[in-house]
Amino acid sequence: MDNYHFLNSTRKDPLKASAEERINNFNEIYSNFNTETSVDQASRCIDCGVPYCKWSCPVVNHIPEWLKLIAKGEIIKAAELSNETNSLPEICGRVCPQDRLCEGACTLNSGYGAVSIGNIEKYISDTAFAQGWQPKKSSIWHKDKLVSIIGAGPAGLAAADFLTRSGIPVKVYDKYPEIGGLLTYGIPNFKLEKDIVLRRRKILENQGVEFILNTEIGNTIDFKEIEANSSAVFLGLGTYKALTGSLNIKQGTAVYMALEYLIDRINSIFHFGSAAHNEDKNAEIEIWQQSSIPSLKNKDVVILGGGDTAMDCCRTAIREGAKSVKCLYRRDFQNTPGSRREIENAIEEGVEFIWNTQVLDIYENNQGLSLKTVETELKKEFNSKRLMPVLKIGSEKILNADAVIIAYGFNPNPPQWLKENFIETDDSGRVLVSKKAENRLQTNNPKVFAGGDMVRGSDLVVTAIFEGRTAAESIKRYIM
Ligand SMILES: Cc1cc2nc3c(=O)[nH]c(=O)nc-3n(C[C@H](O)[C@H](O)[C@H](O)COP(=O)(O)OP(=O)(O)OC[C@H]3O[C@@H](n4cnc5c(N)ncnc54)[C@H](O)[C@@H]3O)c2cc1C
Ligand code: SF4
């Protein structure tokens, strides 16, 4: 292996559809690396001995090791290794903010261009699956055990994956008609095509995972019944209480919450769970009439917030044909919580950013909506790691819009039955879990484990996977 290959070959990113082309459909915007590019890019890894990339990955993927295998053309071995630590590598390769995680920590990032880890991760799984590879099934099956998993988001899927790999039967319940949680009903198709999640569903089912969908625990089935019939239970319910930033929102106005908007659009394109399930990803966006949120075509739309959810709303509204999309955020570009890559994509697609601006009020007028805004400046506060926005009195302005979408993030929404079943939460509603190595993620009710956003607060796909995997290890120790 040539350790100096990175001097001869620069970092390459996959081709990206032009902004003009991609705003006309919901397809993923990045193409895939071919074998030649993957081998070339993987060969740039200098195997530096201190793999910061690996340690910066929440699931501690064996990155240098699978890069080495790809450099040698060993695709199946690389897929097996990638699958060892991560239940959804083909999804992480697409949606992880690599610039803040593995690639941000890559030694070559200081001047030479980080190794394209995310795209190689995606190439490994996609190619191995296309060649017919499937993760190995467990040769033993503990028929006397059953783990019930509530929530088919990445946390629940990872728990299900790692438990069935050890031969432990699982049933995964979800209130939605399709698996994936926010992978399906949140993250738009242009970042993660839904076929990728559906392919993973088939793989998990083949591995022995049983999905019970359209079933809300606490409503369709009582939690006590699930608990009584299981050796252990894993909760991965996510966090869904949308924040409004103290804005007084009048019912019936064209002000929508981010997830309400995104789920409405995803459903109106794909009709998951209905007879009209639409598998044609090029289907034109005619379907808006069927959704409950009116079309934003030819409308002036304002999105509030600076995170990835806000970017997803902006870019969905652009694809829907909005006349203008403005994104208002109370900090500046350097201090957004969103991924740089996603903000740049949004700018290319025509989103206008208004930084350092906070909305004080939204009210209806004869023409539509008016937003009372005020400028902010960022100040360091004694007890905060982040720069805090301070309002500039006298800088108030009025901005008119036809529709407003609020993407201020989410708080936990613990169901009532948690308390009734001795599962404690902190004051903000996050489930309290053990941090001890021997029983990590066990709740106050010893039979119940929890992970993902409902424990951490809104976070990332890869951290939810990590917690699903960790809980599976604790559950195995508990039931075996
Ligand atoms: C719009 C948006 C875009 C995002 N983009 C990214 C991104 O690009 N990259 C990234 O890493 N992260 C992203 N995230 C964050 C990421 O999606 C979440 O951190 C992750 O999905 C959390 O996984 P989870 O399994 O904890 O919960 P979820 O994915 O929320 O899944 C929870 C599941 O539990 C089910 N459920 C809840 N209550 C019940 C019940 N009582 N009975 C049955 N089922 C129930 C829900 O239906 C849901 O399917 C994004 C989030 C949003 C909102
Ligand atoms: S899972 Fe995410 S952080 Fe880890 S190697 Fe893959 S892309 Fe990087």
Q: pLDDT digit string (tens) for 162-201?
A: 999 999 999 999 999 999 999 999 999 999 999 999 999 9
Q: Strand 300-304 vs strand 410-411: parallel, antiparallel, or unpaired?
A: unpaired
CA of 161 to the centre of ligand 2 (A): 18
Q: Which ligand is nearest to the CA of 226?
A: 1
Mean pLDDT of the chain: 93
Single-letter amino acid code for the residue at 79: A
Choice from 41, 86, 183 to test ligand 2 binding pocket (greatest atom count within 8 A of CB):
86
Q: Supply φ then ψ for residue 300, to 5 degrees.
A: -90, 115
Does 105 contact ligand 2 (Cβ within 6 A)?
A: no
Q: Which ligand is nearest to the CA of 222?
A: 1
**So what CATH class is 147-239+412-479?**
alpha beta
User: What pTM was computed for the model?
Assistant: 0.95
How much is the pLDDT for 365?
Answer: 87
Does 312 contact ligand 1 (Cβ within 6 A)?
A: yes
Closest-CA residue, ligand 2 atom 3, reads 57
pLDDT, tens digit (0-9, with 9 covering 90-100), for 230-243: 999 999 999 999 99
Token digits of residue 94: 């697409």
Residue 270 confidence (pLDDT) above 90: no
**459 Cα nearest atom in ligand 1:** 19
Q: How many Cβ atoms sit within 10 Å of the Cβ of residue 274?
A: 10
Does 117 contact ligand 2 (Cβ within 6 A)?
A: yes
Q: Is residue 313 within 8 Å of residue 262, measured between CB atoms?
A: yes
pLDDT, tens digit (0-9, with 9 covering 90-100), for 98-154: 999 999 999 999 899 999 999 999 999 999 999 999 999 999 999 999 999 999 999
**What are the CA-CA distances from residue 157 to residues 55, 215, 315 (Å)?**
23, 16, 28
Does 327 contact ligand 2 (Cβ within 6 A)?
A: no
CA of 263 to the centre of ligand 1 (A): 12
Q: Which of 287, 325, 309 is nearest to 459 (CA)?
A: 309
Does 113 contact ligand 1 (Cβ within 6 A)?
A: no
How much is the pLDDT for 1?
Answer: 61
Residue-range domain boundaries for the chain: 5-130, 147-239+412-479, 241-410
Q: Which ligand is nearest to the CA of 450?
A: 1
CATH hierarchy code of domain 241-410: 3.50.50.60
CA of 151 to the centre of ligand 1 (A): 9
Does 5-130 match 241-410 in CATH topology? no
Token digits of residue 402: 């036809």
The CATH superfamily of 5-130 is: Alpha-helical ferredoxin (1.10.1060.10)
Cα(370)–Cα(33) distance, integer angstroms: 46
Token digits of residue 246: 């103290």
**63 Cα nearest atom in ligand 2:** 5
Does 174 contact ligand 1 (Cβ within 6 A)?
A: yes
Token digits of residue 217: 């625990």
**465 Cα nearest atom in ligand 2:** 1
Cα(218)–Cα(403) distance, integer angstroms: 35
Cα(251)–Cα(154) distance, integer angstroms: 33
189: Cβ contacts below 8 Å, ≥ 6 apart: 26, 27, 28, 266, 269, 281
Cα(426)–Cα(439) distance, integer angstroms: 19
Dihedral class, residue 105 (left if φ above 0, else alpha if ψ from -120 to 50, else beta): alpha
Of the pLDDT bands very low, low, confident and very high (cuts 50, 70, 90), residue 278 is: low
What would the mean pLDDT of 280-292 be, rounded to a whole number?
53
Does 86 contact ligand 2 (Cβ within 6 A)?
A: yes
Does 118 contact ligand 2 (Cβ within 6 A)?
A: yes
Does 57 contact ligand 2 (Cβ within 6 A)?
A: yes
Of the pLDDT bands very low, low, confident and very high (cuts 50, 70, 90), residue 319 is: very high
Cα(138)–Cα(168) distance, integer angstroms: 9
How much is the pLDDT for 277?
Answer: 54
Q: Which residue has the tokens 């005619």?
A: 286
CA of 122 to the centre of ligand 2 (A): 10
How much is the pLDDT for 284?
Answer: 43
Dihedral class, residue 379 (left if φ above 0, else alpha if ψ from -120 to 50, else beta): beta
Cα(438)–Cα(366) distance, integer angstroms: 62
* HEC profile of 312-366: HHHHHHHHCCCCEEEEECCCCHHHCCCCHHHHHHHHHCCCEEECCEEEEEEEECC
